């Protein structure tokens, strides 16, 4: 069975190169033939470990990566299938994973996914039944079944990280979630796209701080004016093209030949820098017409790789007031990261809200609280009768609606998000950490609203408990508890915190531990 990508990942001497391909909305015709032709040329070239195929990027409908990936895989080119949580519930995702396993396509990039865009008849329903961390857990547990069935080839599952965050809270949230992803079974990492070499270096140093020993691939891109405008405008969640770079690209492409030449050169130079910094490989994006620019990029990278330091200044698109985790951005000393070095002051209303709910949770929703035996007996009494359950709903519903805009999921997760509701405050309902789409602390979907995980960082930092951002993994919502009293479910040990499911057991044993110098602060 073809396993080029996995073999290359395990070969520490090899610099890995993958190529991202974006299927169109057609099931046959020129766009399909182009994607297949680029993949065939990649195989012939011999330097590409795998082609990586997107899954409805931007939330827009396109040809399934599974079907076109299988055609490419069948002719000899290894494939990485992007697997987003946006469009299917957990049953559909497990079925899809089994289908991929049967087709022999075991390389998967697990993603929460961009928010839903328009499809047939308008905007589709965003599902987000799982997030990228719980998807990783699902695939890890499926590996046990695959191996038990006699198939020795398990899924090789990767994850994404977005280091190009310029507020302290967003930056920390990305690294905390990265830690969770690795604990959940990620075997390789691919970055989001950006052009700030200091952020690339920050990620490389942070991976070492976190004790992560898996390959990290940096994203590079053949930047055209159209793509540069879209990324600069924030139309590609998580991808960053600063104003200065956009102006350069637009000027260069006034002559299309010169524009393409400069785009190839810029991509090769950034690739050489990433190799010099110690990245295990690159993923090349922005290839839509032919393989020829890829060959030019790789040829040029080989020519200039020994002089990679000469190109730093071209990619120093640092933000003057942006947050950087290390004081000397390009040094190689042992200076610690600069998170939570000063006391974080919350607004008075936020402070009262956070501390009140935290105290309530400590005494009334803590299985180790002295009140726990009494509350369990009381809950069991209420639960025996319909009137008792009605009384529980009347006690819980209005209070949680007022304090949390509660959606009555019956499986409360506020304690994981600094006592903010992941169902009402996050459009993707993520319980395991921030997605990659936030920008300047704003939510990907509602930019005028702060990302709930940025708010969670500020709250945990104010009491020096940043370890809560990465503690364990959080099982997905238990839909069978929908519209039932979460208070009763907690005390009667029916919710995700007490469930005996395999994913709950996994999350209790596989946990990420952040180093002390990453979470230190003043209380």
The CATH code of the domain that includes 83 is 3.20.20.220
Is 284 in the same domain as 389?
no
Is 284 in the same domain as 364?
no
Is 217 in the same domain as 353?
no
Is 62 in the same domain as 142?
yes
Whether 334 maps to a domain, the answer reads no
Is 380 in the same domain as 286?
no
| Whether the Cβ atoms of residue 288 and residue 22 lie closer than 8 Å to each other | yes
Backbone angles phi, psi at 128, to 5 degrees: 50, 45
Q: What angle do CA 301, 290, 25 make, to 5 degrees?
A: 125
Q: Which residue has the higher pLDDT, 378 or 515?
A: 378
Is 506 in the same domain as 367?
yes
Is 75 in the same domain as 159?
yes
Strands 122-123 and 107-111: unpaired
Mean pLDDT of the chain: 93
Give the whole-angstrom CA distance, residue 486 versus residue 262.
Answer: 58
Whether 214 maps to a domain, the answer reads yes
pLDDT exceeds 50 at position 523 = no
Q: Whose CA is closest to 127, among 119, 282, 241?
A: 119
Which tokens belong to 302? 């080989």
Assign 327 a pLDDT band (cuts: 50, 70, 90): confident
Is 144 in the same domain as 64?
yes
- Report the pLDDT averaged over residues 325-350: 74
DSSP 442: B
Last residue of a domain, one of 268, 290, 312: 290
Give Cα separations from 53 to 38, 80, 286, 287, 397 (angstroms). Answer: 12, 6, 12, 12, 44
Give the whole-angstrom CA distance, residue 500 versus residue 204.
Answer: 37
| Whether the Cβ atoms of residue 383 and residue 468 lie closer than 8 Å to each other | no
Whether 271 maps to a domain, the answer reads no
Assign 513 a pLDDT band (cuts: 50, 70, 90): confident
User: Which residue's structure tokens are 């000899």?
Assistant: 76
Least confident of 177-186, 432-441, 461-470: 461-470
Whether 229 maps to a domain, the answer reads no
Handedness of CA 45, 48, 54, 58 (dihedral sign): negative
Q: What is the pLDDT of residue 346?
A: 87
Which tokens belong to 58? 């931007």
Whether 156 maps to a domain, the answer reads yes
Q: What is the pLDDT of residue 169?
A: 95
At 22-58, the pLDDT tens digits run 998 887 778 899 999 999 999 999 999 999 999 999 9
Give the whole-angstrom CA distance, residue 55 versus residue 61.
Answer: 9
Q: Which residue has the higher pLDDT, 161 or 152?
A: 161
pLDDT exceeds 70 at position 331 = no
Assign 334 a pLDDT band (cuts: 50, 70, 90): low
382 is in which domain, residue-wise?
348-519
Whether 313 maps to a domain, the answer reads no
Whether 268 maps to a domain, the answer reads no
Is 186 in the same domain as 103?
yes
Question: DSSP characters for 253-305?
Answer: TTSHHHHHHHHHHHHHHHHHHHHHHT-SEEEEE---S-SHHHHHHHHHHHHHG
Share of the chain above pLDDT 70, in %: 97
Is 64 in the same domain as 203?
yes
Which tokens belong to 152? 């020795």
At 89-125, the pLDDT tens digits run 999 999 999 999 999 999 999 999 999 998 888 999 9
The pTM for the full model equals 0.95
Whether 212 maps to a domain, the answer reads yes
| The total number of structural domains that make up the chain | 2
Give the whole-angstrom CA distance, residue 124 versus residue 84.
Answer: 15
Is 360 in the same domain as 286?
no
Give the whole-angstrom CA distance, residue 323 versus residue 338.
Answer: 9
Is 285 in the same domain as 355?
no
């Amino acid at each position: 069975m073809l396993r080029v990508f996995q073999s290359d990942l395990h070969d520490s001497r090899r610099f890995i190169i993958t190529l991202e391909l974006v299927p169109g909305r057609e099931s046959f015709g020129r766009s399909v033939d182009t994607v297949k032709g680029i993949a065939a040329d990649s195989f012939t070239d011999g330097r590409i470990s795998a082609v990586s195929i997107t899954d409805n990027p931007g939330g827009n409908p396109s040809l399934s990566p599974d079907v076109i990936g299988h055609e490419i895989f069948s002719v000899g080119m290894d494939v990485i299938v992007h697997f987003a949580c946006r469009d299917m519930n957990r049953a559909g995702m497990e079925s899809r994973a089994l289908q991929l396993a049967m087709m022999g396509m075991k390389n998967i990039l697990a993603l929460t996914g961009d928010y839903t865009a328009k499809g047939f008849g308008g905007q589709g329903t965003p599902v987000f039944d799982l997030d990228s961390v719980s998807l990783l857990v699902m695939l890890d547990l499926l590996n046990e079944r695959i191996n038990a069935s006699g198939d020795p080839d398990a899924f090789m599952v990767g994850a994404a990280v977005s280091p190009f965050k310029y507020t302290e809270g967003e930056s920390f949230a990305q690294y905390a979630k990265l830690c969770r992803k690795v604990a959940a079974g990620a075997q390789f990492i691919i970055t989001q796209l950006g052009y700030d070499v200091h952020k690339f270096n920050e990620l490389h140093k942070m991976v070492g701080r976190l004790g992560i020993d898996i390959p990290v691939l940096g994203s590079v891109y053949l930047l055209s004016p159209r793509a540069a405008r879209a990324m600069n405008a924030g139309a590609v969640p998580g991808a960053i093209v600063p104003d200065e770079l956009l102006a350069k690209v637009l000027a260069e492409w006034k002559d299309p030949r010169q524009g393409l030449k400069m785009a190839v050169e810029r991509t090769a130079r950034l690739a050489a820098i990433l190799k010099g910094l110690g990245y295990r490989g690159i993923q090349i994006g922005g290839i839509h017409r032919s393989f020829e620019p890829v060959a030019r990029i790789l040829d040029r990278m080989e020519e200039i790789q020994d002089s990679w330091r000469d190109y730093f200044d071209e990619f120093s698109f640092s933000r003057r007031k942006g947050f950087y985790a290390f004081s000397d951005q390009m040094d190689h000393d042992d200076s610690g990261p600069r998170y939570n070095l000063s006391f974080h002051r919350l607004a008075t209303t936020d402070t009262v809200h956070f501390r009140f709910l935290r105290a309530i949770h400590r005494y009334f929703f803590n299985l180790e609280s002295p009140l726990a035996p009494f509350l369990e007996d009381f809950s069991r009494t209420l639960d025996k009768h319909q009137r008792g359950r009605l009384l529980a709903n009347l006690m819980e519903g209005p209070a949680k609606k007022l304090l949390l805009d509660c959606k009555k999921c019956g499986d409360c997760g506020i304690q994981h998000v600094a006592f903010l509701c992941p169902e009402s405050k996050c459009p993707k309902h993520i319980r395991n950490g921030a997605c990659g789409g936030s920008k300047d602390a704003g939510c990907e979907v509602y930019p005028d609203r702060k990302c709930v995980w940025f708010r969670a960082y500020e709250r945990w930092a104010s009491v020096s408990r940043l370890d809560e951002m990465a503690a364990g993994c959080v099982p997905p919502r238990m839909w069978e508890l929908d519209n039932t009293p979460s208070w009763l479910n907690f005390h009667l040990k029916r919710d995700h915190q007490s469930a005996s499911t395999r994913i709950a057991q996994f999350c209790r044993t596989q946990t990420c531990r952040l180093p002390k110098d990453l979470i230190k602060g003043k209380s």
